Structure 1
Amino acid sequence: MSSDPACARRPPQPLRALDPAGFHRPRACALQPLPQQGPGWTGRSWPCRPRRPRPSWRQMVSSRTRYPIQPTSDALRCPMSATDPSTDHPLRQALTQALRARDPAQAVPAAEALVRAFPQSALAWSGLADALTLSGQVGIAVDARRQAVAFKPRDGTLQFNLGTALLAASDPAGAVVVLQAASQHLPRTPRLLMNLGVALRELGRLSEAADALARAARNAPANTPLAANITWNQSLVHLMGGDLRAGLPAYESRRKLPRFSLRVPRHLPSWDGQSRPQKLLIVAEQGLGDTFQYARWIRRVESCAETLVVAVQKPLVALLRAGLDRACERTEIIPLDRNLAVSKVDAWAPLLSLPWLLNAVQRGSHVESTPWLAADPTLVDHWRTRLAREPGPVRVGIVWQGNPHYLGDCHRSVPLEVFAPIARLPGVTLVSLQKRHGRRQLTRLPEGMHVADLHKELDETTGPFLDTAAAMQVLDLVITSDTATLHLAGALGVRTLAAIAHIPDWRFGLTGNHLPEYPHVRLVRQPRPGDWTSVADVMARWIHKHMC
């Protein structure tokens, strides 16, 4: 499996893992629960087959025709037509069973067979799109949904599914066109309006996104997962726009969403931010980068309890114990496991809820004047000696690749070869801090580009991030994409250039070169989607001006 950051090479994404943007996957309108196979079916292929061979479904969509969108149905329904297979048709039953079992190896062939037998059936093409989505082929799934729309251009469900498929395929502009047209005829459909709001947010059109999500919230049933999902998406719009007063309380709705998988301690009350418990438990959540970024709140909340226990992801325990204990004497760092049990705890709170609980609703309250993590001094001395053997005088650590299993990785990871102008600067040596994913790119560097590879020395004997943190404190500069390394650099207070997508994660906002909590991290933003070359050129000029 390739670990290149290109979207086309992303591994299949499981359908049950929702995208961090929060939009719903297409509703399976085409394949409803079906009765079991009747005694009249012998297990053989359906006997009524045309004598003339039909083109394959791939040939049917190879032209990638863009069909006009005319949603006029008044409800999200997918009525059967004369060209659709009946509910007891064995090919339809086979596909339904494969989709129920979430088995792409069976679902895709079954869907292909159904399309060959019913090439003019919107239901069959929708089933193929469901199967392709299940197998991770989201791009071809969009073509299948367009084919379904071509046969039923007035069906609202098919329009909704097409718009959502475009959103899943990282085409928010196309999704907006489809979903806006559909919303004119389905103005009170909360899922459609929510997905429209998500697509608009991914284009940076925050005011329009807020309007669509507000309409979705007004029409969603109260106290439901859908309502919580809409509120969470509203929080991202507010936070991306810098409105902490509206965004932080709305962000608490994530606690009602199963995909966040918060480890909620049983029989423990939630901390309200006002009381002073004898023993307070803070539970980390989401990714490693989130824990690095929000660890700064641990030292702020320590005064709110007699004893503080912080449960973090196992790879971070050693680093946080070493880096936080000197500042937080009454704080205990423990590993976050499946059965979280801590004795004599009076209350608990999620780590990312601390800003809201501490009423930090002003941007100024997020400013950090000093780092909140520090590397082991012994390891720092070791890496000072080790890195002195690399050519200098300017040694720049670099991380370019995030986890390719993350759905939005193709927007945040940067091809290593893009940084060639930096490697060619006189006196500059690039030092790879990359672990696991993306290291294959080191074998195909352009001519004149050299990167020192420390893979076999970093964190192999000490533990995750321990050597990396020490090396970062010794290096003259760190260059990183939007990964956990960026937030580790910010927590350590090391000088950093961060490559940021044109429409980034909400915490980076849409404008500005710095974050309040990271005074030593300079954000270098794409001037347009996909333009990492301009980002590298800006970095090269900055390094040449300030360091060479």
Structure 2
Amino acid sequence: MSKYFIACKLPTVQSVSCFRGEAETKVLAIMTKSAESLFKTAQALERLHDWSGAEDAYRQAAEANPNLLEAHHNRAAVLRRLDRADEALVEAVRAAQLAPDHPTVRFSLGLSQEKSGDIGAAINSYRETLSLNPDHVGALNNLGRLLESQNQTPEAISILEKAYALAPRDASIMTNLANSRLQSGQPQAASSLLDRAIEADPNLAVAYNSRGIARHILGTNTEAIDDFRQAVNLQHDFAEAHENLTQVLMYVGNYDEAWREYEWRWKNPSNVQTKRLLEIAPWDGAPLAGKTLLVHAEQGFGDCLQFSRFIQNIEKDGGKIVFACHRSLFRLMTTMPEIDELWDIDNEFPAFDWHIPLISLPRLFRIEIETVPNETPYLDISRLTGDLPELPEKRSDLRNIGIAWAGRPRHEFDPYRNRSCPIEAMELLATVPNIHLYSLQTGEKAPEIEEILQNHENITNLSPFISDFADTAALVNVLDLIITVDTAVAHLAGAMGKPCWVLLTELADWRWQPHNGEPPVWYPSMRYFRQEEPGGWTDVFNRVADLLVLSK
């Protein structure tokens, strides 16, 4: 009987006959139905890439001998290949019960758990594999990759460096280590690793995708675009590479191609924000002519606020526009008269005739960088209803400034792309004469204002007054200026036409272009303050404070 086989690798088979198509039927008809003969049949079918036949033969072998470890173990691997993740997990669990101390079997369990979507359990299984065999390269590689996906970058790098030392020619390990280097703010080191990965495996699409990211961070956007194109040439359905290509095309101002590439976002498993796939045919841009059009929000709150301007471009022609979004945006979106009805994006939708994702509108309208509709305000705050907060402690002899310092947490260890700043950096603004700061920060970062509030009488925390975006808008409306990092508050102020100073990383998102001092493309009322070096917030706040003094 064969020993344990490495998961996802074919066992060596001796003297295999060349039969195809009806191979399973012919073999099973002439071989004894013992567990061992069924197992050998499964091996032969696997060798011929008859995965369905091999799976069934392994199943019969396991039924003939429920304690036949190899049958459960190999069937799990074949089921993973057939994308039958739940069944694969059952078989991998059974194999692990039969051989709890075997590292290869434990590694296979991790593979099945990961394919089933249980990342926490997979991480535990890879750790258990390494406790049984500390030099198991596959477990090191997979554990490092998953830790990176969970934002545990320092540990991921440590584990992947060990994998790389054990297998220095493995392109997948180099790629995973490079990705962790990217997340830790080391794009040059990542790019060098990816050069070697591509040399080792010129057909590895994920390596080109990662190198494209590194090159974009390093400012070589032409080369980055080339890498993303090569990634999708090698693997046309590589949705993440298509979406990354979109981001750089937008960055360089090629909106036309970017909008078309961005349609791949629906097939990107990494893009999980507000993804709604509907069976009814999408709207093609024709006048509504009495029909009901569902426009559904997607991505983050800032994206929703930025792209809601395009709802004004829809020719209703007696039709009806329904907008589906998060409830925290409901009252705010009533300020757009073009919207007839609001639906909760998280609930089932009533009947409608057509639908369109919000960020697909500019593709339909063929929006170029020169034709972005940037007249503001397009949110009419006078239409707000319900109880709205008033600004406490407002003094007419002071400049009243709203602040926010943290967006959605991403790239925590990467100074090139971490768009949030430390609350301590904001404290410098409190030392500028004749101003009063009001914190508009919400969420888990909101309490951080207490760290500096106790040292300054000219700071007020508004988060207790904010329950939704309508509350934030009401407060923004009576403030003189908003100073914020890349947050939904920035988009809100821009959509309202309020003066807003946006504090940006050196590699800010495409929507905060251009760099050269020209008026902002999307929000004319904005002014940008960009880092001059990665993570360099001190210089940014010095420039902001100086301008506040000069412009009082």
What interval of TM-score do these two structures reach, taking the shorter chain for normalisation? Answer: 0.7 to 0.9
Q: Please list the CA deviations of residues 13-70 of structure 1 after superposition, one character each: whole Å capped at 9, or x if unmatched.
A: xxxxxxxxxxxxxxxxx864999999599xxxxxxxxxxxxxxxxxxxxxxxxxxxxx
What is the aligned partner in structure 2 of residue 52 from structure 1?
A: none
Q: Does 1:373 align with 2:373?
A: no
* Aligned counterparts of 2:204 and 2:140: Cα–Cα separation in 1: 24
Q: Please, which runs of 5 or more residues in structure 2 have no aligned partner?
A: 1-5, 11-57, 70-98
Q: Please list the CA deviations of residues 186-241 of structure 1 after superposition, one character each: whole Å capped at 9, or x if unmatched.
A: 22322221221122223332111011112222222x4x3x1x33222211111011
Contact 2:531 2:540 in 1 (8 A): yes
* Aligned counterparts of 2:178 and 2:393: Cα–Cα separation in 1: 54
* Aligned counterparts of 1:352 and 1:545: Cα–Cα separation in 2: 39
What is the aligned partner in structure 1 of residue 349 from structure 2?
A: 340
Alignment of 1:470-509 (within 5 A): 470-509=474-513
DSSP 3-state at the match of 1:524: strand
Contact 1:376 1:470 in 2 (8 A): no
Q: Please list the CA deviations of residues 334-369 of structure 1 after superposition, one character each: whole Å capped at 9, or x if unmatched.
A: 32234223x3x33221111111101112x2311423
Q: Does 1:522 align with 2:537?
A: no
Match of 1:440 among 440, 447, 452: 447
* Aligned counterparts of 2:547 and 2:133: Cα–Cα separation in 1: 60
DSSP 3-state at the match of 1:413: coil
Q: Does 1:272 align with 2:284?
A: yes
Q: Does 1:91 align with 2:120?
A: no
Cα gap change, 1:33 to 1:373, in 2 (>3 Å): farther
Equivalent position amino acid for 1:247 in 2: A
Alignment of 1:413-424 (within 5 A): 413-424=420-431
Q: Using the TM superposition, give the Cα deviation of residue 247 of structure 1 relative to its aligned residue in structure 2, in angstroms.
A: 1.4
Q: Does 1:190 align with 2:209?
A: no
Cα gap change, 1:408 to 1:517, in 2 (>3 Å): farther
Q: Please list the CA deviations of residues 481-527 of structure 1 after superposition, one character each: whole Å capped at 9, or x if unmatched.
A: 11111111111111111111111222223624542221111111111
Contact 1:370 1:493 in 2 (8 A): yes
Q: Using the TM superposition, give the Cα deviation of residue 466 of structure 1 relative to its aligned residue in structure 2, in angstroms.
A: 1.6
Equivalent position amino acid for 1:331 in 2: D
Match of 1:161 among 153, 176, 200: 176
Q: Using the TM superposition, give the Cα deviation of residue 452 of structure 1 relative to its aligned residue in structure 2, in angstroms.
A: 3.0
Which one is further off, 201-210 or 386-395? 386-395
Alignment of 1:379-458 (within 5 A): 386-389=391-394, 392-404=397-409, 411-445=418-452, 449-450=456-457, 452-455=459-462, 457-458=464-465
Q: Please, which runs of 5 or more residues in structure 1 have no aligned partner?
A: 1-29, 42-86
Contact 2:294 2:356 in 1 (8 A): yes
* Aligned counterparts of 2:384 and 2:446: Cα–Cα separation in 1: 28
Cα gap change, 1:205 to 1:496, in 2 (>3 Å): same
Q: Using the TM superposition, give the Cα deviation of residue 152 of structure 1 relative to its aligned residue in structure 2, in angstroms.
A: 1.7
What is the aligned partner in structure 2 of residue 65 from structure 1?
A: none
- Aligned sequence identity (%): 27
DSSP 3-state at the match of 2:247: helix
Cα gap change, 1:265 to 1:182, in 2 (>3 Å): closer
DSSP 3-state at the match of 1:497: strand
* Aligned counterparts of 1:135 and 1:307: Cα–Cα separation in 2: 42
Cα gap change, 1:285 to 1:141, in 2 (>3 Å): same
Contact 2:113 2:121 in 1 (8 A): no
Contact 1:115 1:128 in 2 (8 A): no
What is the aligned partner in structure 2 of residue 316 from structure 1?
A: 329
What is the aligned partner in structure 2 of residue 353 from structure 1?
A: 360
Contact 1:383 1:474 in 2 (8 A): no
Q: Please list the CA deviations of residues 279-328 of structure 1 after superposition, one character each: whole Å capped at 9, or x if unmatched.
A: 2221111111111111111112144663222222221111111x112xx2
| Count of residues paired in the alignment | 457
Cα gap change, 1:212 to 1:428, in 2 (>3 Å): same
Cα gap change, 1:240 to 1:431, in 2 (>3 Å): same
Aligned alpha-carbon RMSD (Å): 3.3
DSSP 3-state at the match of 1:412: coil
Cα gap change, 1:349 to 1:123, in 2 (>3 Å): closer
Structure 1 length-normalised TM: 0.75
Larger radius of gyration: 2
Cα gap change, 1:143 to 1:277, in 2 (>3 Å): farther
Contact 1:312 1:334 in 2 (8 A): yes
* Aligned counterparts of 2:384 and 2:119: Cα–Cα separation in 1: 51
Alignment of 1:89-238 (within 5 A): 90-98=102-110, 100-101=112-113, 111-112=126-127, 114-115=129-130, 117-130=132-145, 132-133=147-148, 136-220=151-235, 222=236, 224=237, 226=238, 228-238=239-249
DSSP 3-state at the match of 1:411: coil
What is the aligned partner in structure 2 of residue 298 from structure 1?
A: 311
Q: Using the TM superposition, give the Cα deviation of residue 165 of structure 1 relative to its aligned residue in structure 2, in angstroms.
A: 3.1
Q: Please list the CA deviations of residues 453-505 of structure 1 after superposition, one character each: whole Å capped at 9, or x if unmatched.
A: 33464234xxx112211111111111111111111111111111111111122
Q: Using the TM superposition, give the Cα deviation of residue 265 of structure 1 relative to its aligned residue in structure 2, in angstroms.
A: 3.0
Contact 2:170 2:200 in 1 (8 A): no
Structure 2 length-normalised TM: 0.74
Q: Does 1:535 align with 2:540?
A: yes
Equivalent position amino acid for 1:314 in 2: R
Q: Using the TM superposition, give the Cα deviation of residue 448 of structure 1 relative to its aligned residue in structure 2, in angstroms.
A: 5.1
Cα gap change, 1:113 to 1:388, in 2 (>3 Å): closer
Which one is further off, 364-373 or 439-448? 439-448
Give 1 or 2: higher helix fraction: 2
Cα gap change, 1:251 to 1:154, in 2 (>3 Å): same
Cα gap change, 1:364 to 1:95, in 2 (>3 Å): same
Cα gap change, 1:229 to 1:131, in 2 (>3 Å): closer
Contact 1:91 1:110 in 2 (8 A): no
DSSP 3-state at the match of 2:433: coil
Equivalent position amino acid for 2:344 in 1: P
Cα gap change, 1:371 to 1:446, in 2 (>3 Å): closer
DSSP 3-state at the match of 1:445: helix
Contact 2:172 2:197 in 1 (8 A): no
Cα gap change, 1:506 to 1:139, in 2 (>3 Å): same
Cα gap change, 1:396 to 1:94, in 2 (>3 Å): same
